[in-house]
Chains A and B, each alone.
Chain A
């Protein structure tokens, strides 16, 4: 048994999580007990809490290599890297939520404190080095996600999305749990390090099945085809600020768990999972991009686009090695900003009593708000993978890693997909710059939306021109 002292020592590494928990509690009390503006104040509390948590993340020491809490959690640079990604995603999501609820005339305070709870699940999931801890953490961020998806009660699409997400999500975590059970059955261990030691001696076929089942569950969360079918419906139905969070942080968390499992547990099966990821990459890229071609609803289009981008990340997983480990981490940060901006596009234009979600609603934006249009243009270039944006460099690094491993056809498939994606991304570019607005001139974009777009565009440009800082950071955080 652990001594109390060791437990207390372990808690020091959990300071960011404790801060998030406190944020959630404070937000909840604010929402419940303040009569006027309770929900909005809960929002400010959360935003402040995220800021504090981000500070604490930087002040929290790294744990020893063996981890803490008996080796079931670790606070390494890898977890640190992803925690930053999650906090950024959450901050953008909260900012956008202010605008979203304001326009919809309905403020769901629950949103503001469910979000930090989901964050705790994510940070725990990327820190965990134990099957049980991983599973619990995974559910800890999955369950708030289901609720968040359905939080917009007056919109039936939102409830529908929530139910779909819940059923398919539970199914997939069940599949993942089955895989974990097989691995546990083979080795009698739940800690990654122990499993990695025992697995090579175990029945390889059952171990492989276990691995595939676990990866399938995670591929579902990462919306990799053929496990993507929930994504378009859920992203279209869920409130946009939540989509921003789900499409970026939740996916990044799934990839982080996947990477840790690949490296720490299933390394002996390298040859197998390389092939699995090649398959997932090709299917996701083509499925995502081809399906996106025919969409007119931006949220749905970007849902498919995010499936395709998960495919690009999977190229990096298939080409795993020193280069790829950095490339994937780099790409996930780029991905965060590209997709946060891509989904927040929907909040630019008001239509009826909600937001204009169709590509046509963006017509003439370049006249109305040149700054917003220019930012969106940078984001679109990044999504397509055109220099000098970070979207190009992200793809380039992933492709480079794959070419180095001799996966030329995979690279060619990825390159070809950039061309396909150009076609639908630039339908948005065309609407903004080349077409005249349909009706009366709309209002100027609201501050939070504009801020997310401008910041994302600026980050994408800066990272595209001077990537070394992030690459060094990623290199230090990469799991070898």
Chain B
């Protein structure tokens, strides 16, 4: 499939860069033109990614729209792109959240606009690139390219401690990535290719000892990105200081790259090591779930609260992945989307009051529902989505992860479930403190409710939250085949047992 004669994946990966020359050509004073350009580019990009759905065949578990060319022939680096259902949903999430981030910046960012939108669009290319790359070096290139614009978004348009937060973010994630690079090189020394599907095709695994080390190298890169306890300390700083759009993309997309890395690379490339490290990783995931939730309870700053809640939610995703049961892995991927929707929306919500009041302290607010009824309704829906109320998206993902975890080890499910309870506690308490009570702070008297533009940024997210919550099947259909393929590699026993009892494996899938 192609768009304007360009192969579709190349098109969606690089189209955001098409906005760069236009932005550069516009004089800095023409602010509206700059904003409109950025919105137009992001909107076209969203349409282009939606166009993927036209040609995509969900029943096909292989990589689709594959593009292959030599890039650096001497060292076997290829320009290799392709997507399956897992990449597809994440790509759609990315293009949607980027558009919303761009729209939400309309009033929030007023200085150095050109650079701001430039960096946002470069960031989008990096993010999409990560999800379409199947050659490890190409993947690594996009993975790193993404760091630079985010560093500047935090460092230039961030809050008071932005310089510190920006370099901390950059250093932590670069450390993880270079360790991953070492792993990639060791992998190459063994296979003499960077082509992931080709490596999987051979079916030969790294020797056990080597597999352990390479797995750990990749794990470090991904775990810092997720971030898992104890690698999470960069996250609260980065989130709190980042501008709203930066937080939305950081929480909505960048964190997903860690768990995407687990699913796409760690599990299929290093199945033995993945199994070996289940106790450690699940342990860390459970600690992340409970620790993140407990720390969230303590926060006075709304953004920090949501940042720590991300640690907790992403712990769920990691848990789901490392149960190796198809239902939980599907739930985990779905939960990545859900977290992108709900946390992305929560950061937008905080951004709205921050834009009006220039504070994010919970104690500064209270009783806002009286002045901002629409805002209150949106906030409520998103809160419910975040805590997993049945009928909304969060419930489906968490339920599938817990079900899967329960079949492997009920204790895991039990510990994880406390995270849900705590999650309800900190979110509802946050809602109560901000929205209910008397409107006592005089500074809040004149607060304006959502404008149409602001409301528009929430509508797609709310629609998706209900859609996934009520009728998740179209999304799960996309995930069935690729997840099965991965689970067959990492946990072949699961399907053996299912096949032996003559009960179709679809048993699990038909929820």
Contacts and interface: CB of A to CB of B under 8 A. Distances in A.
Contacts of A415: 178-179, 181-182
A80 interface: no
Given A396-B137, A419-B174, A422-B170, A403 B185 contact: yes
Contacts of B147: 386
A397 interface: yes
Contacts of A393: 72
Interface in B166-181: 166-167, 170-171, 174-175, 178-179, 181
Interface string B256-283: 0000000000000000000000000000
Interface string A84-118: 00000000000000000000000000000000000
B141 interface: yes
Given A408-B182, A430-B155, A423 B74 contact: no
B185 A416 contact: no
A177 interface: no
Contacts of B178: 415-416, 418-419
B156 interface: yes
Chain B at the A interface: mostly helix, strand, loop or mixed? helix
B185 A397 contact: no
A67 interface: no
Nearest to A417: B178
Contact of A475 (B74, B152, B162, B179): B74
Nearest to A377: B148
B238 to A, nearest CB: 15
B1 interface: no
A381 interface: yes
Contact of A419 (B74, B140, B175): B175
Given A388-B145, A419-B178, A434 B163 contact: yes
A475 B186 CA distance: 23
A399 B182 CA distance: 8
Contacts of B137: 396
Q: Is the interface of A mostly helix, strand, loop or mixed?
A: helix
A400 interface: yes
A400 B185 contact: yes
Given A408-B182, A412-B182, A400 B145 contact: no
B213 to A, nearest CB: 8
Contacts of B511: none
A336 B140 CA distance: 25
B75 interface: yes
B57 to A, nearest CB: 32
A433 B155 contact: yes
B148 A386 contact: yes
B156 A434 contact: yes
B107 interface: no
A403 B145 contact: no
Interface in A404-437: 404, 406, 408, 411-412, 415-416, 418-419, 422-423, 426, 430, 433-434
Contacts of A386: 144-145, 147-148, 174
A475 to B, nearest CB: 7
Contacts of A387: 140-141, 144-145
A403 B136 CA distance: 15
A191 to B, nearest CB: 33
A411 B155 contact: no
Contacts of B155: 430, 433-434
Interface string A315-356: 000000001001000000000000000000000000000000
A406 B189 contact: yes
Contacts of A406: 189
5 contacts: A381-B148, A406-B189, A416-B178, A434-B152, A471-B74
Interface of A: 323, 326, 366, 381, 384, 386-388, 392-393, 396-397, 399-400, 403-404, 406, 408, 411-412, 415-416, 418-419, 422-423, 426, 430, 433-434, 467-468, 471-472, 475
Given A406-B189, A411-B185, A471-B74, 8 more contacts: A386-B174, A387-B141, A392-B144, A403-B182, A408-B213, A412-B179, A415-B178, A434-B163
Listed from nearest, the 3 A-B pairs whose CB atoms lie closest are A415-B178, A403-B185, A387-B141
